Structure 1
Amino acid sequence: MQDHDLDYMLACSPKLEIFALISNYCLPDCVRIGSYTLRCVLLWHSLVDEVAIIAAPQMQRLILYCTHAPEPGMTIKVKIGYAPQLTVLGYLDTAKHVLQIGNTIIKARVTKVSPSTEVPSIKVLAVKVRFRVPGEVRTLLSFLRCFPEVETLHIMASDNDTDYYDDPGEVKARDKLNSTFWERVGPIKCVQSRVKKVVFDQFSGGPNQVEFLKLVLARAVLLQNVIVLLAGPESMMMNEVTGKLQPLASKRMWANKSLRKHSLEVRGRSAGHIWSYSDASDLSISDPFIS
């Protein structure tokens, strides 16, 4: 399937609402979404150069799961154009995805927050990040600033990932975050005024993972529920991580200390869990990510 074939198929499908592209390898290399009827687009185990929402006035969710660039070291551009009803987005991958909003490419420590770099319609956001890589942590914070109205935030740690283009020696040689980095993180609007639920998947208790949780707890005044899903089901890991997280369950660590009901729940990863693209594209399920 060439790019123009996909464009033609969408143009000739005036009632199409859900479109899933599964296990495609390099063709089409650019997925351009221009449709007046599409409500959900899902890419699953796909190799592409670019995913671009050109004009999709009815589109409600864009799901990217296990997407890869065609060549080692390359990235995938995720471009959000006209999609006023887009409410669900993820997983944005800080290692593989370059986010473009309108005409602006979002770059950590470079892009300034403005109406032209924000997508206020997003309510459910999922981001995959290697917390061991400082540049990806900075990218995560930049991504969050682009979605000021997020209410449910899914974070998936990928510190144990061994991507086919990843050089372990190069990763180890990268700079570490300054000891005062987390204290100097600037305002993140969605965290401070909108986020009610956080799901942290593949949590292993690394220092940056813990510090990120502390940051969210200390700033999110509307936060009610935090679910931590461990990277493995082992009881030893459960005991170790629970020990690290126990202090965070105290009300004094939460921004809203007067909130009557809040919870921090730690769960082991259930063996054999299979992510379902059919569930993810089911519009009757308000949150298609693991919860």
Structure 2
Amino acid sequence: MFDQDLDYVLACSPKLEKFALISNYCLPDCIRIGSHSLRCVLIWHSLVDEVAAIAAPQLQRLILYCTNATGPGRTIRVKIGYAPQLAVLGYLDTAKHVLEIGNTIIKAKATKVSPHTLVPSVKVLALKVRFRVAEEVKTLLSFLRCFPEVETLHILASDNDTDHYDDPGKVKARDKLNSTFWHVVCPVNCVQSRVKKLVFDQFTGGTNQVGFLKWVLGRAMLLHKVIVVLADPDYITLSEAMDKLQPLSSKRMWANKLLHEPSLEIRGREAGHIWRYDRASDLSMSDPFIS
């Protein structure tokens, strides 16, 4: 199926509401969502170079799961053009995805927030980030600034992924954030005044991961629930995780002082858990991500 074939299928399906592209290999390499009926699009275990919601007035959900570019060293452009009802988006990957809103590419620290770079309709946002790479942490913050109304935030840490590293020594060299980094981060609107629930998946106990959690807890005025899902025991044991996370359960660490008792839940990943595409496309579920 070539790009123009997919365009033709969508053009000829005026009542189509859900579309899933699963395990495609390079073709189509550019997925243009131009449909007045589509409400849900899933790109699943696929090789693509671009996913663009160019004219999708009814689109509510855009899911990208385990996607890769069509060649080594390449990235996937995720473009949000006209999608005024888009409420659920993810996983945006700070390593693999180039986010473009309107005609602006969102870069770490380099992009100024403006009405042209905001997507206020998104309420559930999922991001994947390698916290060991400082540039990706900064990209994470830039992405968050583009979605000012997010109420549920999912963070998938991929620090245990080594596919992108040629030399383990380089990992340590790039694990550098200034000791005062989280204290001087400019305000992020959704974190300050909208986020009510945070799910942090694949927690390994890294310094930058803990720093991020402390930053969110200390800034999020409406946050009332945090779920931390531990990575495989090969990366962190329950006792190690408790040592790092126990201080965060103290009420004084939370910006939301109205809470009678902060809700910090620590979980292990369920054995054999599979995130199903039929669940992800079930529009009756407001949040299709792992929680």
Answer whether contact 1:41 1:61 (CA < 8 A) is retained.
yes
Counterpart for residue 212 of structure 2: 212
Q: How does 1:262-281 map to 2 (within 5 A)?
A: 262-281=262-281
Counterpart for residue 166 of structure 2: 167
Answer whether contact 1:233 1:269 (CA < 8 A) is retained.
no
Q: Tell me the distance in 1 between the aligned counterparts of 2:240 and 2:173.
A: 27
Counterpart for residue 100 of structure 1: 100
Q: Tell me the distance in 2 between the aligned counterparts of 1:2 and 1:31.
A: 10
Q: Which runs of 5+ in 2 are unaligned?
A: none
Q: Secondary structure at the match of 1:72?
A: coil
What RMSD over aligned residues (CA atoms) do the two structures have, in Å?
1.4
Bigger CA drift: 249-258 or 236-245? Answer: 236-245
Query: 1:72: how far off?
Result: 1.0
Deviation string 1:153-193 (CA, Å, 9 cap, x unpaired) is 00000001132x54235444436111111111100000000
Counterpart for residue 201 of structure 2: 201
Counterpart for residue 134 of structure 2: 134
Q: How does 1:1-291 map to 2 (within 5 A)?
A: 1-163=1-163, 165-169=164-168, 170-174=170-174, 176-232=176-232, 237-291=237-291
Amino acid at match of 2:248: L
Amino acid at match of 1:168: D
Amino acid at match of 1:64: L
Query: 1:270: how far off?
Result: 1.2
Q: Secondary structure at the match of 1:241?
A: helix
Q: Tell me the distance in 2 between the aligned counterparts of 1:217 and 1:66.
A: 29
Q: Percent identity?
A: 77
Deviation string 1:224-281 (CA, Å, 9 cap, x unpaired) is 1000000025797111101111110000000022322430000011111111011001
Answer whether contact 1:43 1:65 (CA < 8 A) is retained.
yes
Answer whether contact 1:18 1:40 (CA < 8 A) is retained.
yes
Q: Cα gap change, 1:146/1:273 in structure 2, threshold over 3 Å: closer, same or farther?
A: same
Amino acid at match of 1:79: K
Runs of 4+ in structure 1 deviating by more than 6 angstroms, as ranges, are none
Q: Tell me the distance in 2 between the aligned counterparts of 1:39 and 1:62.
A: 9
Q: Tell me the distance in 2 between the aligned counterparts of 1:109 and 1:234.
A: 34
Q: Cα gap change, 1:215/1:60 in structure 2, threshold over 3 Å: closer, same or farther?
A: same
Deviation string 1:92-143 (CA, Å, 9 cap, x unpaired) is 0000000000000001111011111110000000000000000100000000
Answer whether contact 1:234 1:268 (CA < 8 A) is retained.
no
Q: Secondary structure at the match of 1:81?
A: strand
Number of aligned residue pairs: 290
Q: Tell me the distance in 2 between the aligned counterparts of 1:278 and 1:175.
A: 37
Answer whether contact 2:204 2:235 (CA < 8 A) is retained.
no
Normalised TM-score (structure 1): 0.97
